[in-house]
């Protein structure tokens, strides 16, 4: 695995003065990803001006692959993880940090109707605190990128082209343009999530193996796992807030549980799994508080989410797996 960008992760920072300087990092990450997987296809990556979370993969004629991520994806993800870092104890740090010494930085993004959408960053005076927020944000942004690449590599785009000519675009947060039942569509989304979570898990393990800067911030390896789980859970919660299209994408909690579950299968140690799920519970409760979610409603929802997760999984195993398998460019799981 090429670790060029991972190793840089300790040096990058969202802010340099008031400039955002991670745009290039994710562009390079996305554009070199297929090459690192041994696939000689040209992928171009760009940002779209939009304040909302979204990403799109467009495979054109199978020669040109274009991947777009909205600026809002970066803004919202970094905003929430800086905030999350200050409100919840996500990991055990090697240092004690103050939650007092915080500077608020406000940026204004605009929607299609030119309405102002404020984005507020809570910047701690201690750069180590900010670095923890940035690691979670990095996992979250890469999850979005890898989800789209998962649609391509696992054959969803190829399948889509074969059954519905000229319709080859997958959106993170919009209906896919292909005639699929709701369950079939959700099964593809969960498959793309699963791809993203599993490859991101491997990257996280590379950070640990390479004694990355992250290890100087936290008590131990388990804390890196916690930041990884928080990153995925956090981005799923954010997509849940944005996602108004419930017939093509599973509920965000279903997505988060299924993909963390998939990644956890790569862990041998059961104690680690327990700790990861405790972290997820912390992140979920933080988001619920933030969004004034009623506790009883949340528990009832979780029961129906369990049913939905089972139906999606069955649809994947018995139907969609066989349909997309022949178009897959990489190893495809039968999750």
Region 191-250 residues binding Zn ion, contact defined as CB under 5 A: 192
Question: Smallest gap, in angstroms, from Cβ of residue 155 to Zn ion?
Answer: 13
187: how many CB neighbours lie within 10 A of its CB? 28
* Residue with Cβ nearer Zn ion (52 or 286): 52
Residue in this structure with the two tokens 């940035």, named with its chain if needed: 134
* Smallest distance from Zn ion to CB 71, Å: 19
Nearer to Zn ion, 124 or 173 (CB): 173
Binding region for Zn ion (CB under 5 A) out of 56-64, 181-189, 228-236, 311-319: 181-189
Handedness of CA 65, 28, 333, 275 (dihedral sign): negative
CB of 199 or CB of 286, closer to Zn ion: 199
Q: Under rule CB under 5 A, how many of the chain's residues touch Zn ion?
A: 2
CB 71 within 8 A of CB 49: yes
Q: Which stretch binds Zn ion (CB under 5 A): 62-70, 136-144, 188-196, 265-273?
A: 188-196
Shortest Å distance, C-beta 86 to Zn ion = 30
Neighbours of 183 (CB within 10 A): 17
Residue 7 CB-density burial (10 A; 0-12 exposed, 13-18 middle, 19+ buried): middle
* Contact region with Zn ion (CB under 5 A), list: 8-16, 39-47, 90-98, 186-194: 186-194
Distance between CA atoms of residues 27 and 142, nearest Å: 10
Pinpoint the alpha helices (H) of the chain. Answer: 4-8, 23-36, 71-87, 127-153, 156-163, 182-209, 221-242, 252-264, 270-290, 295-315, 321-325
Between residues 250 and 273, which has the closer beta carbon with respect to Zn ion?
A: 250
- Compute the least distance from the CB of residue 172 to Zn ion, in Å: 5
Single out the segment in contact with Zn ion by CB under 5 A; choices: 3-11, 184-192, 238-246, 280-288. 184-192
Binding site residues, Zn ion, CB under 5 A: 189, 192
């Amino acid at each position: 695995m090429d670790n060029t960008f991972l190793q840089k992760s300790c040096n990058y920072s969202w802010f340099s003065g008031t400039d955002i300087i991670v745009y290039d990092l994710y562009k390079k990450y996305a554009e070199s990803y297929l090459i690192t997987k041994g696939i000689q296809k040209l992928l171009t990556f760009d940002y779209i001006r939009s304040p909302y979370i979204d990403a799109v993969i467009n495979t054109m004629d199978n020669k040109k692959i274009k991947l777009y991520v909205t600026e809002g994806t970066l803004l919202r993800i970094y905003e929430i993880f800086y905030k999350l870092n200050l409100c919840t104890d996500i990991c055990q740090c090697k240092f004690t940090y103050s939650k007092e010494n915080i500077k608020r930085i406000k940026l204004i993004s605009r929607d299609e109707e030119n309405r102002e959408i404020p984005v507020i960053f809570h910047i701690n005076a201690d750069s180590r605190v900010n670095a923890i927020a940035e690691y979670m944000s990095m996992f979250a942004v890469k999850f979005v990128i890898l989800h789209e690449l998962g649609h391509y590599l696992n054959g969803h785009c190829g399948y889509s082209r074969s059954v519905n000519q000229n319709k080859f675009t997958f959106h993170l947060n919009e209906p896919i343009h292909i005639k699929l039942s709701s369950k079939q569509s959700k099964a593809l989304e969960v498959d793309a999530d699963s791809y993203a979570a599993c490859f991101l898990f491997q990257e996280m393990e590379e950070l640990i193996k390479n004694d990355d800067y992250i290890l100087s911030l936290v008590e131990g390896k388990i804390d890196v796992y916690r930041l990884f789980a928080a990153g995925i859970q956090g981005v799923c919660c954010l997509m849940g807030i944005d996602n108004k299209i419930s017939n093509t994408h599973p509920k965000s909690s279903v997505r988060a549980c299924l993909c963390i579950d998939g990644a956890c299968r790569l862990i041998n140690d059961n104690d680690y799994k327990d700790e990861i799920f405790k972290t997820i519970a912390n992140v979920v409760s933080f988001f619920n508080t933030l969004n004034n979610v009623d506790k009883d409603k949340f528990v009832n929802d979780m029961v129906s989410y369990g049913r939905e997760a089972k139906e999606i999984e069955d649809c994947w195993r018995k139907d969609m797996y066989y349909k997309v398998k022949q178009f897959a460019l990489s190893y495809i799981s039968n999750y």
